[in-house]
Structure 1
């Protein structure tokens, strides 16, 4: 199995790489420090599985990268690897294409089991989170049908630009980060503000935090 690891901490990347490369049936072919780099590594290496951290400040988050990678590279299975035991993170991850959700505090064997499970076509969720999914199914929580879901409303480019605006980057800085023109940034910014009904950066920041597009 060819695997990519995306985490903003080099020590974490090195540690998981050692664990995975020790397995006879697994190989880490690349690592990345944020969502944008993770996307490029998937594009370049076409791995079977990618481990994505949710929070990778100041770069693109794992949640945004999940939506883009699952859409453009459906053969690459995504496992969210995170410290957050959080219902909303779990739902957002699975809704946007992740096939696994593993806590960083889990034993090494659980991570390896998750990789083998999603590679085989199954979905793997940390045992501690399965009760959440059962309750969600039974109650049919409105969150699963939330028509304000940014991953449904916004384009891939808008999902890239919105968190950067929320973090306070100017149009020129965003253009340089994404290798696009300032006019393109302005156009996408205007569109996502219209779609969501936002009129100021504080509102964009509030929305981005509420929808888990950025974290403190």
Structure 2
């Protein structure tokens, strides 16, 4: 059973997230928080596996809360809950250690799948937000690692996976598109990260856009 902690200062949003999680047969909500300080304490005391984290909260924002939870003795995986107008904070949260992000009004199935994905160690990029995050990153000074290698280092299959990662698809969704197992897709993503000296799926998406492999 996946233990999920929900942190959001909006009562209705938090209640919706709680209902979504508790409706799943393989996960349960172990605690709630309305501010970042409560989130840090609660994630530790409940020994949560995954924290659904809002970014804009009082007392302590979701970015710093993420940093503290990820840096704790028993870190939980962080899945950011975001809205379109909070995009400017998403990459900062990923840099702080979040495993991915999903929009608050995403379908129930998408949120549940995202929780499962980060719990098993994958990254999650919500397709409806990924392109906006990439646009922001392309507009500012890039990480030098993004320029270290070219497409010639990747196999045709790896290039295909890169294009699909850049659209925000999960490993399972990519597997369905290219008729590969989720585990095989994960292996390809790992090889891409190693070959291109990149840290995460967001950097893969940015790299793909820089090299004309994605729109």
- Give 1:71 shift: 1.0
- Give 1:9 shift: 1.9
The aligned residue for residue 128 of structure 1 is 128
Q: Does 1:36 align with 2:37?
A: yes
Structure 1 residues 30 and 129: CA distance shift in structure 2, 3 A: same
The aligned residue for residue 183 of structure 1 is none
Structure 1 residues 133 and 56: CA distance shift in structure 2, 3 A: closer
Q: Does 1:105 align with 2:102?
A: no
Give the Cα separation in 1 of the matches to 2:64 and 2:40.
10
Deviation per CA, 1:84-123: give whole Å up to 9, x if none. 3555312101111000111112111111111011011100
The aligned residue for residue 80 of structure 1 is 80
Query: What is the TM-score when the length of structure 1 is the normalising length?
Result: 0.59
The aligned residue for residue 62 of structure 2 is 62
Give the Cα separation in 2 of the matches to 1:6 and 1:72.
17
Structure 1 residues 135 and 19: CA distance shift in structure 2, 3 A: closer
Q: Does 1:142 align with 2:151?
A: no
Structure 1 residues 63 and 84: CA distance shift in structure 2, 3 A: farther
Deviation per CA, 1:61-99: give whole Å up to 9, x if none. 111111111111564100110213555312101111000
Structure 1 alignment gaps of length 5 or more: 146-216
Contact 1:29-1:47 within 8 A present in 2 as well: yes
Moved beyond 6 Å, runs of 4+: none
Structure 2 alignment gaps of length 5 or more: 145-215
The aligned residue for residue 5 of structure 1 is 6
Give the Cα separation in 1 of the matches to 2:112 and 2:85.
19
- Give 1:31 shift: 0.3
CA RMSD in angstroms comes to 2.3
- Give 1:128 shift: 2.3
Structure 1 residues 34 and 125: CA distance shift in structure 2, 3 A: same
Aligned length: 143
The aligned residue for residue 155 of structure 1 is none
Structure 1 residues 124 and 33: CA distance shift in structure 2, 3 A: same
Contact 2:44-2:74 within 8 A present in 1 as well: no
Contact 2:88-2:136 within 8 A present in 1 as well: no
Structure 1 residues 73 and 4: CA distance shift in structure 2, 3 A: farther
Query: What is the TM-score when the length of structure 2 is the normalising length?
Result: 0.60
**Secondary structure at the residue paired with 1:102?**
strand
Contact 2:4-2:29 within 8 A present in 1 as well: yes
